[in-house]
Amino acid sequence: MTGRQDQLREEQEAVDVRYARLDALRDQAAARLARTRRVGPSGSPQNRSERDAFATLYEDRLAQLDAVEQRLCFGRLDLTDGTGRYIGRIGLTDAEHSSLLTDWRAPAAQAFYRATAARPDGVVRRRHLVTRGRTVTGLEDEVLDLDALAEAEDGALASLSGEGALLAALAAGRTGRMGDIVATIQAEQDAVIRSDLAGALVVQGGPGTGKTAVALHRAAYLLYAHRRTLERSGVLLLGPSRVFLRYIDQVLPSLGETGVVTSTIADLVPGVEVRALEPDAVAEIKGRLGMGRVVERAVRQRQRVPAGPTTVRVEGRQVTVRPRDVREAIAKARRSNKPHNLARVVFVREMLGRLAAQYVEQLGSPVPPEDRAEILEELRTTREVRIALNLAWMPLTPQGLISDLLAKPARLEAAAPELSRAERELLRRPADHGWTVADVPLLDEAAELLGEDDQAERARAAADARRRQEELDYARQVLQSSGAGRGLVSAEVLADRFAHSGPSLTTAERAASDRSWTYGHVVVDEAQELSPMAWRMVLRRCPTRSLTIVGDVAQTAAAAGARSWAQALDPVMRGSWRLTELTVNYRTPAAVAEAAQEVARAAGLPVTSLTSARSVPGALEVERVTAAGLEAAVVASAQRALAAVGTTNDPEAGRVAVVAPPTLVDGLREALAASPAAHDLLPPGQGSPLDARLAVLTPREAKGLEFDVVLLAEPALVLESSPGDLYVAMTRPTQALRVLTSRGLPAGF
Ligand SMILES: Nc1ncnc2c1ncn2[C@@H]1O[C@H](COP(=O)(O)OP(=O)(O)OP(=O)(O)O)[C@@H](O)[C@H]1O
């Protein structure tokens, strides 16, 4: 038997021990779940909710243990002191509490990602274990001594760790869903993942540098390292589209984390459904920081002093709503510094007081307090009084305020004198127009300035706080006496479960349905697309300013998006952010990445430096076609590409995308649907492009995604509408880019 086989056998035994422990823990959780369920439906409501809470806890634990089945254990460190440890997806100890597996996020695992020959960090050897199912199929060793360093110092990428495992991961066919990278995180990525929780961290990186992967692993790391802080406040992850959120939705669960709230900017205000589109020029105006002031003025203008007095008869007497009284009541309400709908309570109380005084004066004699209350009630419910007070200070909804502002030119002119007439004309639209993405930050701004009349809500909150304290005390007692959930759950989370009995109200769910929820940490992906107003909306949800902001200012598509991080962030964060860069491209073959960079530079985009992790022979090809022959050429090229990435029946066959300017997409989709070879591989009807082997997309739809082969139609046309879009489109493939053009190639190609 060779030494290699001995090593494989040794590692197989080690891996078997860890899987056996995983199985034992699963059995344990399943048995506890069964026992909890067997207790039956009897008992007090308190007992029932306690039982449900524990049942959910064990269900979650089982789901977590199931999620780590694949590549449970992927690494081993041998240390200078003669000890060693295995690194895996979660931490495991044996029945005697000795460590079997170190969680990749634990400090003791850091050297697995960071140690180099130059800075070995106490590591003699780093070993990557390649597994298929539960079988160890390969090993890759790196001996961290200076001799190894000398050998490796011959290229820019000498510092790639676990190169074999990494390159195998990069070359694998794509499944339509992003996978995790725990086994092969690189040192510069690890530094980002483990960076401090506090403050705003900006991660700039060219296409394919792993920004999304890093952002997701950072969310998982922060939840592990700061669980107490983040478990109850929650973590929010913002992505560019719902398709993108589906693309990444398996990564966090595979890392054992299910509690992160994911959303797009468009979905961030509960109750607002974005259905409409609008021209970039309109979105750009709405995204300007000054729109905050515009909304503020729009609200103030709904607090109005009438031109003249209104006299109303109440129970045979006359009272007059006088402009001077209204002015003073408005001033008093504004001094309360409350949002519009809450300050309205102050305004109304003040006005009713003044009207009651007029009424009493006419009675000619002082009235006892109970009669005064009656007079106030009489005034409050008199229709004309209500109308006069509403005209002065109308209760408003965000939707009502914004749709009115955009539909009535006079209102917009008064609220937005800084906009030119042409700009205001661009914003104008009918009151029943659907909401657009750029409306959402305006609605959020309005919701903040308007507030809700929440007196009842606050009384309930105070009662809830008292109840919560009792629940917390009780949960602590249960934890102490039963020991059942020890290590699995904190008293806080258990108390939440008791209170809401069941999985339907986790922190994530409560946060997602509450516009004013503030998160412990917010991760923003494709952050270059956010307008200044969108940043205001995001920052409102994160008062601690603990943020991870990832993106690439060269890929900006939105007219209101960022061309530099300073331009985007300084106005809203006053310089309090730190910048770090990712520089290695893991996705795109070198020739494709270089061509994309040249084109982007020629178009004047702020491209950051990029080194590619791998080359693929024949990765870039250009086919010149006639305009009339474009569709037929795309169909033929798609057939070749599909054949190259695997046969129809192969479950691991790769994926092909046709990326084209919006004006060509429908025609190309129809042409492909008419081709027998491609027809069945397209997503059916409205199906998601992620679930099919062949997709036809615009560059914006392809943003953040990747495919084995990309056919790019008419790049010159894409460039005309947006250079950022072309840069995105060219950098989606993992294996090959096929360009089809009837109009020549963009400069730099
Ligand atoms: N350390 C790594 N090990 C294995 N695969 C990696 C690693 N880093 C990145 N990748 C892979 O590289 C690809 C690109 O990563 P990702 O989508 O996160 O890049 P990005 O910087 O967000 O790209 P873009 O800006 O173009 O959207 C993904 O398939 C990802 O899994």
* pLDDT in the model for residue 152: 44
Model confidence pLDDT, tens digit, residues 446-497: 999 999 765 555 566 677 777 777 777 767 776 666 555 445 566 676 666 5
Whether pLDDT at 92 is above 80: yes
Question: Known binder of ligand: residue 580?
Answer: no
* pLDDT in the model for residue 208: 95
Angle at 59 between CA 53 and CA 63, to 5 degrees: 145
Is ligand 1 within 6 A of the CB of residue 169?
yes
**Which strand (E) or helix (H) includes residue 566?**
helix 565-573
Q: Which residue has the higher pLDDT, 457 or 517?
A: 517
Q: Are strands 135-143 and 123-132 parallel, antiparallel or unpaired?
A: antiparallel
Cα torsion through 455, 496, 196, 184, rounded to 10:
-140
Model confidence pLDDT, tens digit, residues 519-550: 999 999 999 999 999 999 999 999 999 999 99
DSSP string, 202-214: EEEE-TTSSHHHH
* pLDDT in the model for residue 686: 67
Whether pLDDT at 405 is above 90: yes
DSSP string, 660-694: --HHHHHHHHHHHHTSHHHHTTSPPTT--GGGSSE
Q: Which atom of ligand 1 is nearest to the CA of 703?
A: 27
SS3 state at 733: strand
Q: Per-residue pLDDT averaged across 610-636, rounded?
A: 94
The residue whose CA is least distant from atom 14 of ligand 1 is 208
72 band by pLDDT with thresholds 50, 70 and 90: very high
453 Cα–ligand 1 center, Å: 47
Of 45-59, 240-254, 297-311, where does mean pLDDT reach its minimum?
Answer: 45-59
16 Cα–ligand 1 center, Å: 30
Angle at 665 between CA 659 and CA 670, to 5 degrees: 115
* 446 neighbors 300 (Cβ within 8 angstroms): no
Type of residue at 252 = L
Q: Which atom of ligand 1 is nearest to the CA of 183?
A: 3
Is ligand 1 within 6 A of the CB of residue 586?
yes
Is ligand 1 within 6 A of the CB of residue 731?
yes
End-to-end Cα distance, the chain: 54
Is ligand 1 within 6 A of the CB of residue 339?
no
Q: Calculate the average pLDDT of the chain.
A: 88
Whether pLDDT at 570 is above 80: yes
Q: Per-residue pLDDT averaged across 350-378, rounded?
A: 89
- Smallest CA-to-CA distance from 552 within 727, 710, 748 is with 727
* pLDDT in the model for residue 504: 44
ipTM rounded to 2 decimals: 0.99
Instruction: Provide the whole-model pTM.
Output: 0.86
Model confidence pLDDT, tens digit, residues 727-739: 999 999 999 999 9
The two three-digit tokens of residue 62, written as one number = 């089982």
Question: Known binder of ligand: residue 654?
Answer: no
Is ligand 1 within 6 A of the CB of residue 212?
yes
Q: Per-residue pLDDT averaged across 69-91, rounded?
A: 92
Question: Known binder of ligand: residue 211?
Answer: yes
* pLDDT in the model for residue 479: 66
Percent of the chain at pLDDT > 90 equals 61
The residue whose CA is least distant from atom 30 of ligand 1 is 210
320 Cα–ligand 1 center, Å: 70
Strands across the sheet containing 577-582: 260-264, 235-239, 521-524, 547-551, 200-205, 577-582
183 Cα–ligand 1 center, Å: 13
Q: Per-residue pLDDT averaged across 704-712, rounded?
A: 94
Is ligand 1 within 6 A of the CB of residue 166?
yes
Question: Known binder of ligand: residue 507?
Answer: no
The residue whose CA is least distant from atom 29 of ligand 1 is 587
Is ligand 1 within 6 A of the CB of residue 724?
no
Is ligand 1 within 6 A of the CB of residue 657?
no
* 265 neighbors 227 (Cβ within 8 angstroms): no
Is ligand 1 within 6 A of the CB of residue 113?
no
The residue whose CA is least distant from atom 18 of ligand 1 is 210
Strands across the sheet containing 84-88: 92-93, 99-103, 84-88, 73-79, 123-132, 135-143
Question: Known binder of ligand: residue 131?
Answer: no
Model confidence pLDDT, tens digit, residues 132-165: 899 999 888 888 765 544 454 444 445 567 777 7
Is ligand 1 within 6 A of the CB of residue 552?
yes
Type of residue at 245 = L
Question: Known binder of ligand: residue 205?
Answer: yes
Whether pLDDT at 415 is above 60: yes
The residue whose CA is least distant from atom 27 of ligand 1 is 704
The residue whose CA is least distant from atom 1 of ligand 1 is 185
Q: Which residue has the higher pLDDT, 673 or 419?
A: 419
Q: Which atom of ligand 1 is nearest to the CA of 213?
A: 18
Substitution site in 170, 581, 655, 737 for ligand 1 pocket (most atoms within 8 Å of beta carbon): 170
The residue whose CA is least distant from atom 15 of ligand 1 is 210
Angle at 674 between CA 670 and CA 677, to 5 degrees: 120
Question: Known binder of ligand: residue 40?
Answer: no
Distance CA 547, CA 199 (A): 6
Percent of the chain at pLDDT > 70 equals 90
Q: Which atom of ligand 1 is nearest to the CA of 728?
A: 26
* pLDDT in the model for residue 680: 75
